[in-house]
Amino acid sequence: MQYLERIECEYDQKISIDFYKEGDPLKPAVTGFLVFVSTPDPIGNKYYLGPAPLQYMARQIATANGPTGYNRDYLFSMEKALASISHEDDSIIDLANEVRKVLNRTKDTKITGANASLKSHAHYVFYYDLARELFYYLKGE
């Protein structure tokens, strides 16, 4: 838990959710799943930038880093994890490709995208994003 608290330190809310199987809305399949949420609250979430063009987000992701590494590694790991379960997301693919373009235009070519290896914590990345998507789906948003 300390590891997750460290890497998710910029999220301003933590919520606990339950997951239900289709056809069984009364008995949760998983209970108490912890999800870190980033809200657009400018006081609680000082790093929220709001809507931005794809190119702007790509430039920021290509060069930004946090307590556990580069943001681009997070993005490429998420893209690879989603592809590994045949659940590609066009917005993630488009953003990752734009980040690759930024990296190709700079001298920093350590990460090439498609060949980026998953970090040991990549499964947390995938499960976090899956949980977030399921949360909003279940809420009907």
* Radius of gyration of the CA atoms of the chain, in A: 16
* Angle subtended at Cα 57 by Cα 55 and Cα 59, rounded to the nearest 5 degrees: 70
Q: Name the catalytic one among 8, 10, 88, 98.
A: 8
8 catalytic residue (yes or no): yes
Say which residues have a Cβ less than 8 Å from residue 74's Cβ, sequence separation at least 6.
Answer: 125
Sheet strands (E) in the chain? 13-20, 28-37, 65-66, 69-70
- For residue 119, the tally of other CB atoms under 10 A from its CB is 15
* Structural contact between residues 93 and 130, judged by C-beta atoms closer than 8 angstroms: no
* 27: DSSP letter: S
Q: Residues with catalytic annotation?
A: 8
